[in-house]
Amino acid sequence: MFIGKNVKLSHYHETDGENLANWQWDENFLSTLTSDMIHPYTANDWEKIFLENTDSSENVAFTIRKTNDDNLVGYVTLTDISVRNHSCELGIGFPKAQDRSKGYGTEAMKLILDYGFNNLNMHKIKLSVYPFNTGAVKAYTKVGFVKEGTTKDEIFYDGKWVDIDYYAIFQDDWFAKQR
């Protein structure tokens, strides 16, 4: 269920926090971590993020690891899980530039969407993205996310106001795409 051809979804390992803390300094990664003030995360902060989600009914977090050597390449989360409304928000990140644009994100999203729709019975999984993050947008649409809307001048980024786009995928559409 959690294993693809090149990546798998896994639990937090002891050294993951230290690795993520060191890798977070890539400008293309750090600037997309939050839409508010950027805070550098310590190894303990990263560990806390994963461990707090272990027993949560509102959030789930997985590390993304290569299947061939178990090396950490990223993480994927489902947050704000609403049991009543069967919806949640997807977050995904690849801190190291050399782990981007290799298909890991697409494969990890397929795994987490399968989990969200088949195990958690989500009706809708949504996400937000900067429109200029074209690699992410390409990966999202490849697995079936559809743009629902845009908020104009929502974020002050790199000295100017930028939009945020909102995408979603529905359970029925996911199942139809899998046939």
Give the list of residues 6+ apart from residue 27 with CB closer than 8 angstroms, or none. none
| Distance in angstroms (rounded) separating the CA atoms of residues 42 and 62 | 18
From the list 125, 96, 98, 99, the residue with the least C-alpha distance to 110 is 125
Question: Which residue type does 177 have?
Answer: K
- The residue among 90, 77, 74 whose CA lies nearest residue 24 is 74
Q: Can you say how many angstroms the Cα of residue 26 is from the centroid of all Cα atoms in its chain?
A: 17
**Given 140, 157, 166, 167, the catalytic residue:** 140
Active-site annotation holds for 166: no
CA atoms within 13 A on the CB side of 173: 13
Are 32 and 93 spatial neighbours (Cβ–Cβ below 8 Å)? yes
CB-CB neighbours of 173 under 10 Å: 15
Catalytic residue numbers, as ranges? 140
